[in-house]
């Protein structure tokens, strides 16, 4: 599934939402300096936001296609899995991971984060939670249930969106605590809103983790068509009032 995201890096970069400015500002204000390591930087969405705020950013990205796109936008990227990445003696004031830390081995990742962060450095893993309006969310979930009634994807779609991320937050917190190198663990949340047209939402769906299992089952086009019909029935567009969740900690 992770390898599917680089299939169309340009679409991914265009369709995926940006992170709330309050989240970016909070990380920067918590860090002792401006050197940021972006783990799993993808196409550079978060990296560009941190750069625009005055940070010096190095990205680490396992997918060469995603890294190439990020470089085309001016982001410095090194191609490697974070677990095997060689920092070459470099340390950073903040380590950030937007929508990616769940792909990292929790034990190895936490230990490496401790190694590359300076004392007082900020660790921040964050995810945005897509929360369509209740009626549309129910319609989207119904589409998945009807198209793939036995798929585990259904439980992801139907689950309480914020609750579905608790596992990521718990696992990250446990792994950081186990290193003995982090203090001040917190779970801040940040509201954000975005207006989506029908086509914009379908593009976002094409880049989601659920797209690959649907495509493998030969059902992606049907899900896209029926999801689009649900949006058309709701007026052709909608506003997503959602939340970004984070796990932050300080390198002791």
- Give strand pairing partners of 109: none
Check if the beta carbon of residue 4 is closer than 8 Å to that of residue 65. no
Check if the beta carbon of residue 93 is closer than 8 Å to that of residue 36. yes
Tell which residue, 59, 53, 45, 46, has the closest CA to residue 87. 59
pLDDT of residue 214: 78
How far is the C-alpha of 246 from the C-alpha of 252, rounded, in Å? 19
Check if the beta carbon of residue 125 is closer than 8 Å to that of residue 97. yes
pLDDT of residue 7: 82
Strand 182-186 relative to strand 237-251, pairing: antiparallel
Other CB atoms within 10 A of residue 51 CB: 19
pLDDT of residue 159: 47
How far is the C-alpha of 231 from the C-alpha of 129, rounded, in Å? 19
What backbone phi and psi angles, to 5 degrees, belong to 72? -65, -20
- Give strand pairing partners of 96: 38, 124
Domains of the chain: 2-251 (3.40.50.150)
**Residues in the chain, how many?**
252
Helix or strand (DSSP H, E) at 189: strand 189-197
- pLDDT (tens, 9 = 90+) of the chain, 252 residues, equals 777 777 889 999 999 999 999 999 999 999 999 999 999 999 999 999 999 999 999 999 999 999 999 999 999 999 999 999 999 999 999 999 999 999 999 999 999 999 999 999 999 999 998 889 999 999 998 998 888 787 655 555 444 567 778 999 999 999 999 999 999 999 999 999 999 999 999 999 999 888 877 788 888 999 999 999 999 999 999 999 889 999 999 999
What backbone phi and psi angles, to 5 degrees, belong to 19? -90, 150
pLDDT of residue 147: 87
Sign of CA dihedral 28, 32, 35, 37: negative
pLDDT of residue 144: 84
This prediction's pTM? 0.93
Other CB atoms within 10 A of residue 221 CB: 10
């Amino acid at each position: 599934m992770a390898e599917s995201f680089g299939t169309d890096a340009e679409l991914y970069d265009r369709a995926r939402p940006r992170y709330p400015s309050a989240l970016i500002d909070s990380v920067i204000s918590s860090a002792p300096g401006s050197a940021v390591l972006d783990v799993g930087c993808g196409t550079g969405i978060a990296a560009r936001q941190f750069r625009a705020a005055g940070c010096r950013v190095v990205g680490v990205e396992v997918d060469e296609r995603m890294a190439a796109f990020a470089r085309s936008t001016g982001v410095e990227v090194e191609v490697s899995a974070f677990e095997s990445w060689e920092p070459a003696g470099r340390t950073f004031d903040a380590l950030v991971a937007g929508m990616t830390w769940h792909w990292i081995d929790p034990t190895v990742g936490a230990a490496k984060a401790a190694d590359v962060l300076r004392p007082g450095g900020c660790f921040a893993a964050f995810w945005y939670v897509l929360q369509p309006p209740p009626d549309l969310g129910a319609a989207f979930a119904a589409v998945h249930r009807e198209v793939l009634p036995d798929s585990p994807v259904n439980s992801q779609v139907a689950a309480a969106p914020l609750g579905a991320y608790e596992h990521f937050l718990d696992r990250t917190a446990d792994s950081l605590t186990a290193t003995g190198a982090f203090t001040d663990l917190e779970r801040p949340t940040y509201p954000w809103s975005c207006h989506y047209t029908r086509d914009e939402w379908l593009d976002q769906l094409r880049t989601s983790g659920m797209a690959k299992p649907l495509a493998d089952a030969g059902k992606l086009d049907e899900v896209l068509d029926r999801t689009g019909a649900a949006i058309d029935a709701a007026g052709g567009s909608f506003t997503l009032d959602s939340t970004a969740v984070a796990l932050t900690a300080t390198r002791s």
